[in-house]
Amino acid sequence: MVGNDYRDYFKVLGVERNCNSNEIKNAFRKLARQYHPDVNPGDKAAEAKFKEISEAYEILSDPEKRTRYEQFGKYWDQVGTNNSNVKSGFGQDLEFGDYGNFDEFINDLLGRFNGGMNGVGGFRANSYQQSLKLDAQITVKIALSEVFLGCKRTLSINDERVQIKIPKGMRSGSKLRVKGKGNFQPGTGMRGDLYIKIDLEEHPIWKINRDHLCADLPVSFDELVLGAIVKILTPDGKTQLSIPKGTLPGQSLRLKGKGLPNNNGRGDLIFTLIMKYPDQWSSKELELFDQLRQLRINDPRKDWLNSARA
Protein backbone atom coordinates (compact mmCIF):
# COMPACT_ATOMS: atom_id res chain seq x y z
CA MET A 1 0.00 0.00 0.00
CA VAL A 2 2.82 2.35 0.85
CA GLY A 3 5.84 3.22 -1.22
CA ASN A 4 9.30 3.99 0.07
CA ASP A 5 8.66 7.72 0.44
CA TYR A 6 8.08 8.57 4.08
CA ARG A 7 4.81 10.21 4.99
CA ASP A 8 3.91 11.49 8.41
CA TYR A 9 0.58 9.76 8.80
CA PHE A 10 -0.10 11.53 12.08
CA LYS A 11 0.10 14.88 10.28
CA VAL A 12 -2.00 13.52 7.42
CA LEU A 13 -4.84 12.83 9.87
CA GLY A 14 -4.09 15.90 11.99
CA VAL A 15 -3.56 13.97 15.25
CA GLU A 16 -0.82 13.92 17.87
CA ARG A 17 1.68 11.07 17.92
CA ASN A 18 0.39 9.88 21.30
CA CYS A 19 -3.23 9.82 20.15
CA ASN A 20 -5.48 6.86 20.91
CA SER A 21 -7.50 4.72 18.50
CA ASN A 22 -10.66 6.70 19.11
CA GLU A 23 -8.97 9.95 18.13
CA ILE A 24 -7.60 8.34 14.96
CA LYS A 25 -11.04 7.04 14.02
CA ASN A 26 -12.73 10.39 14.63
CA ALA A 27 -10.10 12.24 12.60
CA PHE A 28 -10.53 9.87 9.66
CA ARG A 29 -14.33 10.10 9.78
CA LYS A 30 -14.14 13.89 9.64
CA LEU A 31 -11.70 13.94 6.73
CA ALA A 32 -13.53 11.18 4.84
CA ARG A 33 -16.68 13.25 4.91
CA GLN A 34 -14.76 16.12 3.38
CA TYR A 35 -12.66 14.40 0.71
CA HIS A 36 -14.41 11.26 -0.48
CA PRO A 37 -14.70 11.26 -4.31
CA ASP A 38 -18.44 10.62 -4.17
CA VAL A 39 -18.81 13.86 -2.27
CA ASN A 40 -16.40 15.67 -4.63
CA PRO A 41 -17.14 14.26 -8.12
CA GLY A 42 -14.43 15.09 -10.63
CA ASP A 43 -12.13 16.70 -8.04
CA LYS A 44 -8.74 15.03 -8.55
CA ALA A 45 -7.20 16.84 -5.58
CA ALA A 46 -9.93 15.56 -3.26
CA GLU A 47 -9.48 12.04 -4.64
CA ALA A 48 -5.74 12.16 -3.98
CA LYS A 49 -6.32 13.50 -0.48
CA PHE A 50 -8.81 10.74 0.23
CA LYS A 51 -6.30 8.09 -0.85
CA GLU A 52 -3.72 9.67 1.45
CA ILE A 53 -5.96 9.76 4.53
CA SER A 54 -7.16 6.19 3.76
CA GLU A 55 -3.55 5.07 3.67
CA ALA A 56 -2.83 6.86 6.96
CA TYR A 57 -5.88 5.40 8.65
CA GLU A 58 -5.11 1.83 7.57
CA ILE A 59 -1.63 2.05 9.11
CA LEU A 60 -2.45 3.90 12.33
CA SER A 61 -5.66 1.99 13.12
CA ASP A 62 -3.83 -1.34 13.07
CA PRO A 63 -1.82 -1.70 16.33
CA GLU A 64 0.82 -3.95 14.76
CA LYS A 65 1.35 -1.74 11.71
CA ARG A 66 1.37 1.39 13.82
CA THR A 67 4.09 -0.06 16.06
CA ARG A 68 6.27 -0.95 13.07
CA TYR A 69 5.61 2.46 11.51
CA GLU A 70 6.63 4.29 14.70
CA GLN A 71 9.78 2.16 15.03
CA PHE A 72 10.96 1.94 11.41
CA GLY A 73 9.41 4.93 9.63
CA LYS A 74 9.23 4.55 5.85
CA TYR A 75 10.64 0.98 6.12
CA TRP A 76 7.77 -0.20 8.33
CA ASP A 77 6.30 -2.44 5.60
CA GLN A 78 9.60 -4.22 5.02
CA VAL A 79 9.96 -5.50 8.60
CA GLY A 80 8.29 -8.69 9.78
CA THR A 81 5.48 -8.74 7.20
CA ASN A 82 4.73 -9.89 3.66
CA ASN A 83 2.15 -7.19 2.99
CA SER A 84 4.41 -4.75 1.15
CA ASN A 85 2.28 -5.18 -1.97
CA VAL A 86 -0.98 -4.07 -0.32
CA LYS A 87 -2.82 -1.67 -2.59
CA SER A 88 -4.89 1.35 -1.74
CA GLY A 89 -8.36 2.05 -2.95
CA PHE A 90 -10.73 1.01 -0.15
CA GLY A 91 -14.09 2.63 -0.51
CA GLN A 92 -13.73 3.37 -4.20
CA ASP A 93 -16.40 0.77 -5.01
CA LEU A 94 -18.85 2.23 -2.49
CA GLU A 95 -21.60 4.49 -3.80
CA PHE A 96 -22.77 7.15 -1.37
CA GLY A 97 -26.25 7.10 -2.90
CA ASP A 98 -26.72 3.48 -1.78
CA TYR A 99 -26.83 4.57 1.89
CA GLY A 100 -29.47 6.29 3.97
CA ASN A 101 -27.02 8.80 5.40
CA PHE A 102 -23.33 9.57 5.51
CA ASP A 103 -22.84 7.81 8.86
CA GLU A 104 -23.97 4.49 7.34
CA PHE A 105 -21.65 5.11 4.39
CA ILE A 106 -18.64 5.83 6.61
CA ASN A 107 -19.34 2.86 8.89
CA ASP A 108 -19.35 0.47 5.92
CA LEU A 109 -16.20 2.11 4.62
CA LEU A 110 -14.45 1.61 7.95
CA GLY A 111 -15.63 -1.99 8.03
CA ARG A 112 -13.91 -2.63 4.74
CA PHE A 113 -10.66 -1.32 6.14
CA ASN A 114 -10.90 -3.85 8.93
CA GLY A 115 -11.76 -6.77 6.70
CA GLY A 116 -9.88 -5.90 3.49
CA MET A 117 -6.24 -5.63 4.49
CA ASN A 118 -5.19 -7.55 1.36
CA GLY A 119 -7.10 -5.42 -1.07
CA VAL A 120 -10.36 -7.40 -0.90
CA GLY A 121 -13.18 -4.94 -0.33
CA GLY A 122 -16.15 -7.29 0.02
CA PHE A 123 -16.14 -7.50 3.84
CA ARG A 124 -19.40 -6.17 5.34
CA ALA A 125 -19.28 -4.11 8.51
CA ASN A 126 -22.78 -5.20 9.56
CA SER A 127 -21.87 -8.90 9.67
CA TYR A 128 -18.82 -8.07 11.78
CA GLN A 129 -20.92 -6.04 14.17
CA GLN A 130 -23.32 -8.92 14.71
CA SER A 131 -20.45 -11.18 15.76
CA LEU A 132 -19.42 -8.89 18.61
CA LYS A 133 -21.09 -7.71 21.76
CA LEU A 134 -20.51 -3.97 21.61
CA ASP A 135 -22.93 -3.03 24.38
CA ALA A 136 -21.39 -2.43 27.79
CA GLN A 137 -22.94 -2.55 31.25
CA ILE A 138 -21.91 -0.91 34.49
CA THR A 139 -23.50 -0.96 37.94
CA VAL A 140 -24.00 2.34 39.72
CA LYS A 141 -24.87 2.54 43.41
CA ILE A 142 -27.23 5.28 44.57
CA ALA A 143 -28.45 6.34 47.99
CA LEU A 144 -32.09 6.38 49.06
CA SER A 145 -32.10 10.18 49.02
CA GLU A 146 -31.12 10.09 45.34
CA VAL A 147 -34.20 8.01 44.56
CA PHE A 148 -36.28 11.02 45.62
CA LEU A 149 -34.20 13.73 43.97
CA GLY A 150 -32.42 12.06 41.08
CA CYS A 151 -28.68 12.53 40.64
CA LYS A 152 -25.78 12.74 38.21
CA ARG A 153 -22.70 10.57 37.87
CA THR A 154 -19.51 10.97 35.87
CA LEU A 155 -18.24 7.60 34.66
CA SER A 156 -15.01 6.58 32.95
CA ILE A 157 -15.93 4.42 29.94
CA ASN A 158 -13.22 3.32 27.48
CA ASP A 159 -10.97 6.21 28.55
CA GLU A 160 -13.86 8.65 28.06
CA ARG A 161 -15.60 10.59 30.80
CA VAL A 162 -19.35 10.19 30.40
CA GLN A 163 -21.80 12.19 32.49
CA ILE A 164 -25.17 10.53 33.05
CA LYS A 165 -28.35 11.75 34.64
CA ILE A 166 -30.21 9.29 36.86
CA PRO A 167 -33.85 10.33 37.16
CA LYS A 168 -35.75 10.10 40.41
CA GLY A 169 -37.72 6.98 41.17
CA MET A 170 -35.05 4.43 40.19
CA ARG A 171 -35.05 1.06 41.98
CA SER A 172 -32.46 -1.66 42.38
CA GLY A 173 -32.31 -3.55 39.09
CA SER A 174 -33.57 -0.61 37.02
CA LYS A 175 -31.58 0.01 33.85
CA LEU A 176 -30.75 3.13 31.89
CA ARG A 177 -29.50 3.16 28.30
CA VAL A 178 -26.99 5.69 26.98
CA LYS A 179 -26.76 5.36 23.20
CA GLY A 180 -23.37 5.24 21.55
CA LYS A 181 -21.28 5.11 24.74
CA GLY A 182 -20.52 1.38 24.87
CA ASN A 183 -17.58 -0.59 23.47
CA PHE A 184 -15.81 0.26 20.22
CA GLN A 185 -15.59 -2.07 17.24
CA PRO A 186 -11.96 -1.86 16.12
CA GLY A 187 -11.49 -0.43 12.67
CA THR A 188 -15.15 0.29 11.88
CA GLY A 189 -16.05 3.30 13.98
CA MET A 190 -19.06 1.43 15.36
CA ARG A 191 -19.88 1.63 19.03
CA GLY A 192 -22.45 -0.09 21.19
CA ASP A 193 -24.66 1.36 23.88
CA LEU A 194 -23.99 1.70 27.57
CA TYR A 195 -26.46 0.10 29.97
CA ILE A 196 -26.43 1.35 33.54
CA LYS A 197 -27.81 -1.00 36.18
CA ILE A 198 -28.98 0.72 39.35
CA ASP A 199 -28.09 -0.74 42.73
CA LEU A 200 -29.78 0.97 45.67
CA GLU A 201 -27.69 1.07 48.82
CA GLU A 202 -29.25 -0.51 51.89
CA HIS A 203 -30.64 1.94 54.44
CA PRO A 204 -30.41 1.26 58.19
CA ILE A 205 -34.07 2.18 58.76
CA TRP A 206 -36.10 2.15 55.55
CA LYS A 207 -36.95 -1.00 53.61
CA ILE A 208 -38.56 -0.95 50.16
CA ASN A 209 -41.79 -2.78 49.35
CA ARG A 210 -42.71 -1.90 45.76
CA ASP A 211 -43.44 1.87 45.93
CA HIS A 212 -43.75 1.91 49.73
CA LEU A 213 -41.12 2.60 52.35
CA CYS A 214 -41.43 0.50 55.48
CA ALA A 215 -39.82 0.92 58.89
CA ASP A 216 -40.12 -0.38 62.44
CA LEU A 217 -41.06 2.45 64.80
CA PRO A 218 -40.16 2.04 68.49
CA VAL A 219 -42.94 3.16 70.87
CA SER A 220 -43.50 2.99 74.61
CA PHE A 221 -46.12 1.07 76.54
CA ASP A 222 -48.02 4.19 77.52
CA GLU A 223 -48.04 5.52 73.94
CA LEU A 224 -49.76 2.35 72.81
CA VAL A 225 -52.26 2.31 75.65
CA LEU A 226 -53.07 5.99 75.90
CA GLY A 227 -52.32 7.06 72.34
CA ALA A 228 -49.86 9.80 71.41
CA ILE A 229 -48.62 12.18 68.75
CA VAL A 230 -44.94 11.38 68.19
CA LYS A 231 -42.25 13.15 66.23
CA ILE A 232 -40.70 11.13 63.41
CA LEU A 233 -38.14 11.67 60.68
CA THR A 234 -39.05 10.80 57.08
CA PRO A 235 -37.13 11.13 53.79
CA ASP A 236 -38.90 14.49 53.39
CA GLY A 237 -37.87 15.73 56.82
CA LYS A 238 -39.49 15.94 60.25
CA THR A 239 -43.21 15.36 60.75
CA GLN A 240 -45.66 13.89 63.28
CA LEU A 241 -47.48 10.59 63.50
CA SER A 242 -50.68 10.05 65.47
CA ILE A 243 -50.90 6.77 67.42
CA PRO A 244 -54.49 5.95 68.39
CA LYS A 245 -55.05 4.83 71.96
CA GLY A 246 -55.32 1.12 72.46
CA THR A 247 -53.05 0.32 69.50
CA LEU A 248 -51.44 -3.10 69.78
CA PRO A 249 -47.74 -3.87 69.24
CA GLY A 250 -47.09 -5.08 65.68
CA GLN A 251 -49.85 -2.99 64.14
CA SER A 252 -49.00 -0.74 61.21
CA LEU A 253 -49.75 2.92 60.61
CA ARG A 254 -49.56 4.57 57.20
CA LEU A 255 -48.67 8.01 55.88
CA LYS A 256 -50.10 8.18 52.37
CA GLY A 257 -48.20 9.78 49.52
CA LYS A 258 -44.89 9.98 51.39
CA GLY A 259 -43.17 6.92 49.92
CA LEU A 260 -41.10 6.40 46.77
CA PRO A 261 -41.79 8.35 43.57
CA ASN A 262 -43.74 6.48 40.89
CA ASN A 263 -45.68 7.24 37.72
CA ASN A 264 -48.78 8.15 39.72
CA GLY A 265 -47.08 10.29 42.35
CA ARG A 266 -45.65 8.50 45.35
CA GLY A 267 -46.20 5.40 47.43
CA ASP A 268 -46.77 5.40 51.20
CA LEU A 269 -44.74 5.28 54.40
CA ILE A 270 -45.67 2.26 56.51
CA PHE A 271 -44.67 2.05 60.18
CA THR A 272 -44.83 -1.16 62.18
CA LEU A 273 -45.13 -0.28 65.89
CA ILE A 274 -42.63 -2.10 68.06
CA MET A 275 -42.95 -1.73 71.82
CA LYS A 276 -39.61 -0.66 73.21
CA TYR A 277 -38.91 -1.65 76.80
CA PRO A 278 -36.43 0.49 78.68
CA ASP A 279 -33.19 -1.06 79.80
CA GLN A 280 -34.20 -0.28 83.36
CA TRP A 281 -37.46 0.87 85.03
CA SER A 282 -37.35 3.64 87.60
CA SER A 283 -38.67 2.95 91.10
CA LYS A 284 -41.58 5.30 90.48
CA GLU A 285 -42.54 3.48 87.29
CA LEU A 286 -42.44 0.14 89.06
CA GLU A 287 -44.61 1.58 91.82
CA LEU A 288 -47.20 2.71 89.27
CA PHE A 289 -47.14 -0.69 87.59
CA ASP A 290 -47.82 -2.30 90.93
CA GLN A 291 -50.84 -0.03 91.38
CA LEU A 292 -51.97 -0.90 87.85
CA ARG A 293 -51.76 -4.60 88.64
CA GLN A 294 -53.99 -4.13 91.65
CA LEU A 295 -56.50 -2.12 89.59
CA ARG A 296 -56.53 -4.41 86.58
CA ILE A 297 -59.90 -6.11 86.06
CA ASN A 298 -59.13 -8.28 83.03
CA ASP A 299 -57.45 -11.66 83.16
CA PRO A 300 -55.19 -11.90 80.07
CA ARG A 301 -55.27 -15.73 80.19
CA LYS A 302 -59.01 -16.28 80.67
CA ASP A 303 -59.72 -17.46 77.11
CA TRP A 304 -56.49 -19.41 77.02
CA LEU A 305 -57.38 -21.34 80.19
CA ASN A 306 -60.85 -22.15 78.89
CA SER A 307 -59.39 -23.53 75.68
CA ALA A 308 -56.73 -25.48 77.59
CA ARG A 309 -59.40 -27.29 79.61
CA ALA A 310 -61.07 -28.45 76.41
Distance of CA 125 to the CA centre of its chain: 27
Of the pLDDT bands very low, low, confident and very high (cuts 50, 70, 90), residue 218 is very high
Question: Would you state the pLDDT for residue 186?
Answer: 64
pLDDT tens digit sequence for 60-80: 888 888 887 877 666 666 555
CATH number at residue 191: 2.60.260.20
Q: Are residues 190 and 155 in the same domain?
A: yes
Q: Are residues 186 and 215 in the same domain?
A: no
Domain assignment of residue 296, given as a range: 211-302
Helices 44-60 and 21-35, interaxial angle, to 10°? 170
DSSP 184: B
Q: Is the pLDDT of residue 132 over 90?
A: no
- Residue 55 three-state SS: helix
Question: Would you state the pLDDT for residue 82?
Answer: 44
| 58 against 84, higher pLDDT | 58
| Side chain identity, residue 257 | G
Q: Is the pLDDT of residue 43 over 80?
A: yes
pLDDT tens digit sequence for 232-274: 888 888 899 999 999 999 999 999 988 888 877 888 999 999 9
Angle at 189 between CA 188 and CA 190, to 5 degrees: 90
What does each C-alpha distance from 174 to 147, 169, 209 come to in angstroms? 11, 10, 15
> Among 104, 105, 128, which residue's Cα sits nearest to residue 50?
105
pTM of the model: 0.49
- Average pLDDT on 196-220 reads 89
Query: For the ranges 46-50, 103-107, 253-257, 262-266, which has the lowest average pLDDT?
Result: 103-107
Q: Is the pLDDT of residue 284 over 60?
A: yes
Q: Is residue 85 part of a domain?
A: yes
CATH number at residue 56: 1.10.287.110
Number of domain units in the chain:
3
What does each C-alpha distance from 190 to 86, 98, 102, 165, 187 come to in angstroms? 25, 19, 13, 24, 8
